[in-house]
Structure 1
Amino acid sequence: MHTVQAEEAWLQRSQAILQALEGQPRPEWLNGQTDQLDMKRQAQQILEASQAMRAKALSTGSAGGLQTPPSNKPLTLLFVSFSLGDTALIGIFEEAAGRDDVLLVFRGPKPGQKLPALMADLKRLLKGIDPLPNVVIDPTRFQRWSVTTVPDIVVEQDGKARLHVRGVSSLSWLDEQIKAGKQGDLGTMGDVAEIAEIDLLEEIKRRMAAIDWKQKQRQAIARFWEQQKFENLPTAQVDRDRTVDLTITAPRDLTA
């Protein structure tokens, strides 16, 4: 899981989004809403998980390390899922080990699975593999290349798909096709499986759409007044009239 430039860019974009949220004012009625806090927490966990995998790769890599490929060089995105099975995934991890031009992409955790459990599953499958392959959790890439089944390979270069093939996970086979000059969409060349993991971005959208914001606003307003503390003033014993001078003096002339 050595650092690659594509992963760096995604992590930087994610970090920028999260940092932009910090310190930004929001309507008072949103304060205390567990739905939004939970969604932001999940996004933060995804970012931290990818950062943890990157740090692990840097700490376990060889002294020489794999160098980040130039941005104009092709990057092979191999989309995978736990639906492929442990044996197939271990084989993919072993073949991708030591290749800085290959990025293994997961979409997210399985339904109901917490990120620590996902990381534990990955650690179990990666045990004994040295050097570690590049692995990242990036649902945005699944959406960008319309990946709906696995395995799926996209050879990305200059922001475009140089080659796209489904149903194949063999990197040696892919290298032969590239060497032979194959390009474009090669279609489906083997068996494919459904993606076991959730699309975290779509899950957040679904949960946001299901929230009754009018009800949340009413509850927040009621909660606001319940939490207010008022000063109890003593009852006045004598009626008094007071005159307030609201005159304002301008220090200089006012012009339209």
Structure 2
Amino acid sequence: MLLAAISFLSSSAFSESAYEAANRTAWENEAISEQVGSETKDLAEKFKRAMSGYDGSAGKRAQSLAEAARSHAVNANAFNSTPEDVINAIRSPGKVYVFVSSSMPKGQIISLYRSLSLTPLNVEVAYRGLFPGNRTLIDFSRQAGKILRDSSDQVNAIVGLNPTAFREFGIDQVPCLVFISESGEPIKQYGSVNVSDFFDSVSRGEPIISPIGATFEIAERDLIEEIQDRMSSINWQEKIGKAKDRYWERNSPKSLPTGVEESKLSLDMSVRVEDDISADANGKHYVIARKGEVFNPMLQPMMSQYNRRIIVLNPNEDRQVAWAKGEVEDALSRNLKPVVMLSELLSGDKWDTFGKLEKELLVSIYTLPDVVVDRFSLSSVPVVIEPSLTRGFMDINYIGCDGSVCGK
């Protein structure tokens, strides 16, 4: 069983790659924010806001993942203490633990696994931490999985990491078998573990003789201690700084020139299916759309109430900011929802762009993604994109800038 506390190791919170992944999604930053405070949390919010942009579904996916990661972080109180709910689960009556270590002869571990192949009991085979030489849970899983495969039997038990159970029962040598009685008290036996013989003795009320046979020191380091050490050795400020830099290297907005003439285009939003789109469900194959079919998303019932006005500008020009402010106010007066996108970032600290403009325009700000530029064939800014009076079309209004003013 992998406790909630161990989820941090699998989330790659210790590696450079975690922050590289954070440039594409927001959940790693949310998980880390539980540990490093409000600055990283603010950064995570900016990641989510910048990445959601025009793609609302992407924003929802990022939020869902962020909440899942936050839940893992909140449940990981074993870094500092043992949560009551975790202890209650560990001391569940009828539960059986078999504590082992790689210090034991491999043949003994395999024999133990084979002895569990037919047991109907709720058994967990627990290691205290990663095998010596392992760096990640993947390394541990591969090595533990190989031992399982070598047993050549279907093991009727959970095999995994549970350092909290080692702590709770004071296990300092292996092998050790622990049975949780109806009262929640553990009955322990060290040495040669035979589950059937052990329960025969327990059921007859016989005293438990311990140890029986040889015992071994635990080779694995307590995983909770290892996680704490790894977390404390990370320079979080340096990581955050590098993450910020890499984000803009990969996600800078699409730069467009400033327009000098006004013009208006109406774009038919229909798309032609280039290849069959199909899916399998409930054992059947379904063709969702066939090659050559024409589809217009703006004509679908769910888009009948579409009321977005997309406002694109270069925030480094005061005249465009002033124009955008007027467009936002006009949109709100017409019950349209303004969506402001930037073709450039403010000079200086790029992250300050959002806070400054959101305070001035009183709406959320996004960077201009390539998908919007390509879909509407945008050629200059400032520009407004909104539903046309003609159903199935979108109007693209290019605004001309002359002197200190944009628009008429």
Q: TM-score range by the shorter chain?
A: 0.5 to 0.7
Higher mean displacement: 185-194 or 145-154 = 185-194
SS in 2 for 1:164: strand
Counterpart residue number, 1:97: 117
Rg: which structure is higher?
Answer: 2
**1:222 corresponds to which of 231, 235, 245:** 245
Secondary structure of the structure 1 residue equivalent to 2:193: coil
Report what 1:53 is aligned to.
none
- The answer on whether the counterparts of 2:169 and 2:186 sit within 8 Å (CA) in structure 1 is no
Question: Are 2:148 and 1:122 aligned?
Answer: yes
Query: Any residues of structure 2 matched to 1:6-21 within 5 Å, and which?
Result: none
How many Å separate the matches in 1 of 2:221 and 2:94? Answer: 28
Looking at structure 2, the residues matched to 104 and 146 of structure 1 have their Cα atoms a distance apart, in angstroms, of 17
Question: Which residue pairs with 1:208 in the alignment?
Answer: 231
Matched residue count: 194
Q: Does the aligned pair in 1 maintain the 2:92–2:180 contact within 8 Å? A: no
Q: What is the CA distance between 1:209 and its match in structure 2?
A: 1.9
Aligned equivalent of 2:198? 174
How far apart in 2 are the matches of 1:234 and 1:23? Answer: 32
Equivalent residue number for residue 146 of structure 1: 170
- Structure 1 contact 29–220 (Cα < 8 Å) conserved: no
In structure 2, the CA distance between the partners of 1:168 and 1:204, relative to structure 1 (3 Å rule), is same
Q: TM-score, normalised by structure 1?
A: 0.55
Shift of 1:198: 4.9
Tell me if the contact between 1:78 and 1:102 (Cα under 8 Å) persists in the aligned partners.
no
Indicate conservation of the 8 Å contact 1:79/1:153, yes or no: yes
Change in CA separation of 1:87 and 1:230 when aligned onto 2, cut-off 3 Å: closer
Partner of 2:104: 84
User: Higher strand share goes to which structure?
Assistant: 2
Structure 2 partner of 1:112: 133
Post-superposition, which runs of at least 4 consecutive aligned residues in structure 1 deviate over 6 A? 242-249
Identity %: 21
Work out the CA distance in 1 between the residues paired with 2:101 and 2:242.
41
Task: Answer whether contact 1:79 1:152 (CA < 8 A) is retained.
Answer: yes
Q: Give the secondary-structure state (helix, strand or coil) at the position aligned to 1:154.
A: strand
Q: CA deviation at 1:83?
A: 1.8
2:103 alignment partner, SS class: helix
Structure 1 residues 187, 23: CA separation in 2 closer, same or farther (over 3 Å shift)?
A: farther
Which runs of 5 or more structure 2 residues have no equivalent in the other structure?
12-24, 31-40, 48-68, 73-90, 261-318, 334-408
1:83/1:196 contact within 8 Å kept: yes
Distance (whole Å) between structure 2 residues aligned to residue 72 and residue 229 of structure 1: 54
By how many angstroms is 1:212 displaced? 0.8
In the aligned structure 2, how far is the partner of 1:112 from the partner of 1:82? 12
Which one-letter code corresponds to 1:118 in the other structure? A
Alpha-carbon distance, 1:203 to partner: 3.1
Partner of 2:345: none
- 1:201 Cα offset (Å): 4.1
- Is the contact between residue 100 and residue 134 of structure 1 (CA under 8 Å) also seen in structure 2? no
Which of residues 57, 71, 74 is equivalent to 2:94?
74
Distance of aligned partners of 1:234 and 1:77 in 2 relative to their CA distance in 1, 3 Å threshold: closer
1:192 Cα deviation (Å)?
2.1
Amino acid at match of 1:111: P
Distance 1:230 1:89, change over 3 A: closer
- What is the CA distance between 1:172 and its match in structure 2? 4.7
Instruction: Report the CA distance shift for 1:90/1:222 in structure 2 as closer, same or farther (over 3 A).
Output: closer
Cα deviation 1:26-59 (Å, max 9, x = unaligned): 347467xxxxxxxx8xx9xxxxxxxxxxxxxxxx
How large is the Cα RMSD of the aligned pairs? 4.6
Q: Distance in 1 between matches of 2:233 and 2:171?
A: 26
TM-score by length of 2: 0.37
Cα distance between partner residues in 1 of 2:190 and 2:233: 34
